[in-house]
Amino acid sequence: MASTCPAVLIAAPASGQGKTTVSAALARLHTRQGRRVRVFKCGPDFLDPYWLALASGAPVHQLDLWMTGEADCRARLQQAAQDADLLIVEGVMGLFDGDPSAADLAQRLGLPVLAVIDASAMAGTFGALAFGLQHYRPGLRWAGVVANRVASERHASMLQDGLRDEPDHPSLWLGALMRNPALALPERHLGLTVASEVGDAMARLDAAADALAATPLGQMSTTDLQRWAVTLGVDACAVNTVPPLLQGRTIAVARDAAFCFIYQANLDALLELGAELVFFSPLADAAVPVCDAVWLPGGYPELHADVLSRQHACRDSLHAHVAQGKPVWAECGGMMLLFESLTMADGFTHAMWGLLPGQVTMQKRLAGLGPQQLVWKEQTLRGHTFHYSVCHTPLAVITRTSRPDTIPTFDAGEALYVQGSVRASYFHAWFASNPEVAAQLFLPPVP
């Protein structure tokens, strides 16, 4: 079944241009006007979706032609299009950066592209940059361009004058957002600060929506949005039935400010596998809930190391869980919690929970970044890696992840460690890429 809905991919010539601000502002503006908006994020990012979900009031899913797959991208957009008035996809990095890129996704799915360009240090070159983005690759649908961080109305006029009108795009200009610190979304070492940790998050989104409302982009009506209409269909052969491999099993998922890197699609995949989910906070709770398995996702344990080091009761309950042979899947930040200690970039060391031998050390530069795949029992689970810490452990490396379409080696990729019923890695898994393999992470090891 096919569904038709206005949709747009919001891109930029580079990171840091304001894609998330414009995407969230557009979502917030139309949501305030009573439209049903669904937003998606291109690539594996965990953090931008918090802001996009707050702006739209709806869950945000990732779209990535490699990690999630084209069939998955189509299915999620098609399902959302059945009830939505507008679909927004925020791009990743620059429009043509990466393989696959945001442009690849737009072209494959027929999404019109809206470019956001930081024009704070340019005038006439703005037009050349917009022209280049539009024409670099034939076949891309084009929605228009927005200038961001503009100094004045006169500056905006200079930018608009630099655009070339063309027969098929007589109104490429969709407006300017003035430079305004109130519109900025706060950042830290892994990206944007999680929206729930920013006290005035909604006020920032409303301020951005108000600013956007004064532009041609913000003044588009329901009729105007139809120029972005996209028809989305799903290949019935590509829709797989997920076996209930986790039926009757309860999985306790750590979820708080320290462990917040959770794909909504991963939770959905566990539910489709038949699991019941319960949530707990390693930062605040006295014990892990009664369960059959535990998932410790990634996040920011380094920002909460002092509190985590003093959570002895919750730590002891997790030790008891493992002593009973019950599985734990710990990824990235979740794995960091399980080692004996965590040393900060300033040299201060915190005791961690000691389920795995070894130490973790924070560093000031990235230690891992990019798409990764885990071959497990001759099947492949896709995902990515993104971390600033390194671990030192005597544990044997069971296997390593590898980059797309490469063979795993023991001197590259992220290590997978296994000790008893604990499985741990810096690898962030996308469960929906292979639910059968994902299920094995939460089942007891076979003797």
Task: Write out the catalytic residue numbers.
Answer: 332
At residue 409, what is the residue type? T
What does the alpha-carbon distance between residue 390 and residue 371 come to, in Å, rounded to a whole number? 18
Contact (CB, 8 A) for 260 and 46? yes
38 alpha-carbon distance from chain centroid: 15
Cα→Cα distances 406→104, 354, 375, 401, 424, Å: 21, 34, 11, 10, 22
- For residues 311 and 274, what is the distance between their CA atoms, to the nearest angstrom? 31
- DSSP, collapsed to helix, strand or coil, labels residue 29 as helix
Q: Which of 90, 91, 86, 89 is nearest to 37 (CA)?
A: 86
Asked if 390 and 363 count as a contact pair (C-beta separation under 8 A), the reply is: yes
Angle between helices 19-32 and 48-56 in degrees, nearest 10:
20
**Element housing 125 (H / E):** helix 125-135
Nearest Cα to 69, choosing from 260, 265, 246, 230? 265
Dihedral, CA atoms, 270, 272, 277, 281, nearest 10 degrees? Answer: 40
Look at the block and give the residue holding tokens 């000031």: 364
| Closest C-alpha among 370, 364, 309, 376 to residue 336 | 309
Comparing CA positions, the residue from 145, 23, 27 lying closest to residue 86 is 27
Centre a 10 Å sphere on the Cβ of residue 388 and count the other Cβ atoms it contains: 17
Q: Is 227 helix (H, G, I), strand (E, B) or coil?
A: helix
In angstroms, the CA 286 to CA 53 distance is 30
DSSP 412: S
Q: Identify any residues that bridge with 232 across adjacent strands, giving them in sequence order.
A: 3
Cα separation of 35 and 53, whole Å?
15
Among residues 64, 152, 93, the alpha carbon closest in space to that of 373 is found at 64
Between the CA of residue 233 and those of 107, 140, 226, what are the distances in Å?
15, 19, 18
- The number of helices, as runs of H, and strands, as runs of E, in the chain is 13, 24
